[in-house]
Amino acid sequence: MLKDRHLIDPSDFSLEELNEVFTLAEKIIKNPKEFSHICDNKILATLFYEPSTRTRFSFESAMMKLGGSVLGFSEPNSTSASKGETLADTITMVSIYSDIIAMRHPKEGSARVASLYSNSPVINAGDGGHQHPTQTLTDLLTIKELKGDLKNKVIGICGDLKYGRTVHSLIKAMSRYEGNEFVLISPKELRIPEYIREEILVKNNIKFKEVEKLEDVIDEVDILYMTRIQKERFFNEEEYIRLKDSYVLDMEKMDKAKNDMIVMHPLPRVNEISVEVDKDSRAKYFAQAEYGMYVRMALICKLLGVA
Ligand code: CP
């Protein structure tokens, strides 16, 4: 039962519950009109303490397509947070004015804190370098729709594996499905954090390898998940400048990949996927962002208990 639950970490939902969300998303994709008034009179609050294009707009679009309304902010300085109001008090107030809350915040753990003060379901829309569970729902639905299922895949993840929260969430989530293995491609400075390596991969006997060169392994993967080097999480600008162009996926590299490999990216991209790749039928990152809207529609319905 997902009604009135929070979504803070992808592992908050069982595999059966995730499947419930995906099944509903698939129904919405097939027949969106059937759902166009299902959230009449419901209000989604979007509290974005950090910049966003896809997550905020897709949440807002999702709620509007379900017949509901949206309030919120994308600039915390326009709220009483700028006068020193605590997150706890802001959430207490917003949960009075709305039925469901999606929040992005730069501090790890902030979404969990928000859930303690909210009478409405809280959805973590990204907390610092920690988790981004609705991106994970987006990624899983994309893989399910485009590769048939979520099992027995070789998943290459390339770029900033240290700070990229979508990477941490994706590894945690795909490790729960049978037979998946990972090829982790990053500069040594940006490898996955120790807790992901030890607590998720090693402990669960998941097959993985860590390499530095994309071109050496691109022919092995079923899914190539490219990521941006996360400038905003670096403490040292010189190090960011040194590492920022570590990987550029171009057609020369794409020519070495499998014909049915798919390229994903949570977006925004900077330089890591050359625009020439956009025309390749294996480039699925814009389709992925669209699946993100449908999966958020399904999630809102489930947490509000309307479908
Ligand atoms: N993928 C993602 O979270 O994009 P935004 O930062 O634009 O929301």
**Averaged over 217-243, what is the pLDDT?**
84
CATH of the domain at 233: 3.40.50.1370
Is residue 112 annotated as a catalytic residue, yes or no? no
Catalytic site residue from 6, 42, 65, 104: 104
- 160 near 230, Cβ under 8 Å? yes
Say yes or no: 269 and 153 in one domain. Answer: yes
Active-site residue, from 65, 132, 269, 284: 132
User: Percentage of the chain with pLDDT > 90?
Assistant: 88
Say whether both 104 and 232 belong to one domain.
Answer: no
Residue 4 domain-assigned (yes or no): no
Q: Is the pLDDT of residue 139 over 90?
A: yes
**CA 126 to ligand 1: nearest atom:** 3
The residue whose CA has the least distance to atom 1 of ligand 1 is: 266
In a domain, 1, yes or no: no
Catalytic status, residue 165: no
Q: How far is the CA of 51 from the centre of ligand 1 (A)?
A: 8
| Residue 20 domain flag | yes
DSSP 131: B
Tens digit of each residue's pLDDT (9 = 90 or more) over 76-124: 999 999 999 999 999 999 999 999 999 999 999 999 999 999 999 999 9
Which position among 6, 42, 55, 162 bears the catalytic label? 55
Q: How far is Cα 157 from Cα 225, in angstroms, rounded to an integer? A: 5
Which protein residue's CA is at the shortest distance from atom 7 of ligand 1? 53
Known catalytic residue: 213? no
* pLDDT tops 70 at residue 200: yes
What is the number of the ligand 1 atom nearest to the C-alpha of 266?
1
With 70 as the cut, is the pLDDT of residue 233 above it? no
Report the run of H or E that residue 119 belongs to, with start and end.
none
- Assess if residue 2 is contained within a domain: no
CA 66, 67, 68, 72 torsion: positive or negative?
A: positive
Pair 64, 162 in one domain: no
- pLDDT score of 245: 79
Distance between CA atoms of 56 and 187, rounded to whole angstroms? 30
Residue 243 pLDDT > 80, yes or no? Answer: no
Q: Are residues 220 and 82 in the same domain?
A: no
Query: Which atom of ligand 1 approaches the CA of 51 most closely?
Result: 6
Any bridge partners for residue 122, and if so which?
Answer: 101
Whether residue 81 is found in the same domain as residue 214:
no
Q: Residue 232 — very low, low, confident or very high, per pLDDT cuts 50/70/90? A: low
Residue 76, pLDDT score: 92
139 shares its domain with 246: yes
- In a domain, residue 259? The reply is yes
Judge if 101 and 138 occupy the same domain. no
The pLDDT tens digits for 288-302 are 999 999 999 999 999
- Say yes or no: 28 and 56 in one domain: yes
Q: What is the pLDDT of residue 242?
A: 79
Contacts of 243 (CB under 8 A, 6+ apart): 187, 189, 190, 229
**In this predicted model, what pLDDT tens digit does every residue of 39-78 receive, in sequence order?**
999 999 999 999 999 999 999 999 999 999 999 999 999 9
Q: Residue 138 pLDDT more than 90? A: yes
Does residue 150 lie within any of the structural domains? yes
Tokens for 123, please give them. Answer: 């959805």
Number of domains within the chain: 2
Pocket of ligand 1 (CB under 6 A): 52-55, 135, 266-268
- List all residues 6 or more positions away from 21 whose beta carbon is below 8 Å from its beta carbon: 2, 13, 137, 295, 298, 299, 302
Average pLDDT, the chain: 95
Q: Which residues contact 189 (CB under 8 A, 6 or more apart)?
A: 162, 239, 243
Per-residue pLDDT at 269: 94
Average pLDDT over residues 246-264: 97
Q: Residue 132 catalytic?
A: yes
Q: What DSSP line would sit under 44-99, residue for residue?
A: EEEEESS--SHHHHHHHHHHHHTT-EEEEES-GGGSGGGGT--HHHHHHHHHHH-S
How far does the centroid of ligand 1 lie from the alpha carbon of residue 36, in Å?
A: 25
Residues 86 and 154 reside in one and the same domain: no
Active site (annotated) includes residue 233: no
pLDDT of residue 244: 81
For the ranges 99-108, 158-167, 224-233, the one whose mean pLDDT is highest: 99-108
Domain of 120? 10-131+292-304
- Same structural domain, 123 and 189: no
45, β-bridge pairs? 71, 101
pLDDT at 237: 79
**One domain, residues 127 and 169:** no
**Contact between residue 191 and residue 162 where contact means Cβ atoms under 8 Å apart:** yes
**The pLDDT value given to residue 129:** 78
